[in-house]
Copies of this chain bind each other. A is one copy, B any other.
Amino acid sequence: MADPRFFRASGPFTVAEVAALTGAAIVGEGGERERILTDVAPLETAEPHHLSFLANHRYLDAFRASRAGAVLVHPKAVSAASDGVVLLTTTDPYMAFARASRAFYPPMPPQTGISVNAAIDPSASIGADVSIGHFAVIEAGVSVGPRSVIGPQSVIGAGVVIGEDCVIGANVTLSHAMLGSRVTVFPGARIGQDGFGFASDRSGHLRIPQLGRVVIGDDVEVGANTTIDRGAGPDTIIGAGAMIDNLVQIGHNTVIGRGCVIVAQAGMAGSTRLGDFVMLGGQVGVAGHLTIAPGTKIAAKSGVMRDIPDPTVVGGIPAVPMTQWLRQVATVARLVKKEEK
């Protein structure tokens, strides 16, 4: 059960209500429908009034042993259930759990009002029901949409536009940026600073003014301590619904398609374009000026050095189609064994 120091559940819900919320089917016909569920919990720690889920075969043993009251599972896993557990079947137990979990714990950004010790420029436009944390700085000409939250210690630079229902965490800096609605920025993210742009000759490096912006679509998430540089002339663009994890680097002029998923510590050099729903694993690097086809998946730690014209799964440094990379790994291992004989 979630620590009440930090979380408050809004249930309870009956099994029938959970089924309705998630579209899952209840296995069995009896009194299961009215069983009361007070909370969500992982299989290992769930108790008889908790809802849990099985979405990864690694946790099959935990499922077999679970004391959960009800579990969201794929129809194929039903036979492994322990007695007394109500099963709710669905082809996507993880999505169903997401829906149920959001009913138990509705996302509620802190509505704390506007701190008296924030520094807000009088020319800023602040929408209805906006919250602004202690010591936040809102510079000239900023526009913040209704119900958005600006965390403590954050700095919103001159002219920045923030849409409706956004949540900007603590210690964030935003400048030269336009954000859509329902954008979440986690603590310590840096958005809109100058890109890494300079011309070099023997006498050294001469910085080039960075004249673009960062334009972020609706429903985007930007992880903690992630950095997104503004464009050099064109804009840096993050498509609607993109999910960006912690400590990611996004270079100037990068264009990220809708719904892309960028896992922690990945980095993109400048002017690269990701199509919609591209997935970058953790610590991936993508060179500059490339075009990556929509739907491409790039395995963790890969290094992409060329365009990817068709949706592919790739891996390795330099990245090649995944099957090829796996064969390279196997071939090298086999050669070593051969030499050892």
Contacts and interface: CB of A to CB of B under 8 A. Distances in A.
Interface string A193-224: 11010111100111111011100000101011
A335 B105 CA distance: 54
Contact of A199 (B40, B42, B94, B175): B94
Contacts of A333: 320, 324, 328
B134 A224 contact: no
Interface of A: 2-3, 5-7, 40-42, 44-45, 56, 58, 92, 94-95, 97-99, 101-102, 104-105, 107, 115, 117, 119, 133-135, 137, 141, 151-153, 155, 158-159, 169-171, 173, 175-176, 186-188, 190, 193-194, 196, 198-201, 204-209, 211-213, 219, 221, 223-225, 227, 229, 233-234, 241, 243, 245-247, 249, 251, 259, 261, 263-265, 267, 269, 282-283, 285, 287, 289, 300-301, 303, 317-318, 320, 324, 327-329, 331-333, 335-336, 339-340
A265 B264 contact: no
Given A119-B134, A243-B196, A301-B285, A336 B328 contact: yes
B41 A2 contact: no
Given A199-B92, A206-B98, A317 B301 contact: yes
